[in-house]
């Protein structure tokens, strides 16, 4: 059975997790406003989770015969998560909304990963996407709670 699409979605995830780690780091550095003292270290936790998944996904890709993107140039060319130059003029709500948007995108990418791995019969890769999706959905709930809104999954 072919695993071409599984390798593609795993590598897309590699590029997106790399980019998202930088986006969260920017939030960590540039945030200003209410709850800074709690949210600044929370971004460190998010980055740790994202970087852990990045390694798991890349190594799974290698295990099934693929070659993960591994340069900043490749990450930035392949990712679908946008970035922008850092600035201090965003409200805390705007900052968190940018992070939340990234998690929503990744959650949908996990859904695609679950479908593709099902079609190609790779349940080990699928398990990674399921685990990641569950954790991301919990984070989405928490970020929405901080913003005073419902999760809207
Ligand atoms: Fe720091």
CA 63 to ligand 1 centroid distance, Å = 33
pLDDT of residue 102: 98
CA 44 to ligand 1 centroid distance, Å = 7
Per-residue DSSP letter, 1: -
CA 28 to ligand 1 centroid distance, Å = 7
CA 26 to ligand 1 centroid distance, Å = 10
Per-residue pLDDT tens over the stretch 21-62:
999 999 999 999 999 999 999 999 999 999 999 999 999 999
pLDDT of residue 152: 78
CA 64 to ligand 1 centroid distance, Å = 35
Those residues with Cβ within 8 angstroms of residue 16's Cβ, 6 or more apart along the chain or in another chain: 79, 80, 81, 105, 106, 109
Q: Would you tell me the crossing angle of helices 4-30 and 92-119 to the nearest 10 degrees? A: 170
Domain 4-147 has CATH 1.20.1260.10: yes
CA 40 to ligand 1 centroid distance, Å = 8
Structural domain spans, the chain: 4-147
CA 95 to ligand 1 centroid distance, Å = 16
pLDDT of residue 153: 79
Separation CA 95–CA 98 (nearest Å): 5
CA 132 to ligand 1 centroid distance, Å = 24
In order, the DSSP letters of 49-86 are HHHHHHHHHHHHHHHTT-----SHHHHHHH--S-----
């Amino acid at each position: 059975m072919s695993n071409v699409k599984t390798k593609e979605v795993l590598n897309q995830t590699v590029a997106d997790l790399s980019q998202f780690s930088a986006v969260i780091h920017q939030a960590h550095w540039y945030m200003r406003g209410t709850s800074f003292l709690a949210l600044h270290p929370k971004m460190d936790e998010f980055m740790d989770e994202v970087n852990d998944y990045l390694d798991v996904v890349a190594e799974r890709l290698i295990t099934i015969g693929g070659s993960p993107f591994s340069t900043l140039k490749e990450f930035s060319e392949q990712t679908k998560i946008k970035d922008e130059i850092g600035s201090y003029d965003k409200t805390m709500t705007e900052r968190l909304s940018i992070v939340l948007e990234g998690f929503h995108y990744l959650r949908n990418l996990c859904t695609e990963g679950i479908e593709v791995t099902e079609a190609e019969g790779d349940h080990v890769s699928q398990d990674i996407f399921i685990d990641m999706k569950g954790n991301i959905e919990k984070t989405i709930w928490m970020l929405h709670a901080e913003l005073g809104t419902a999760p809207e999954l």
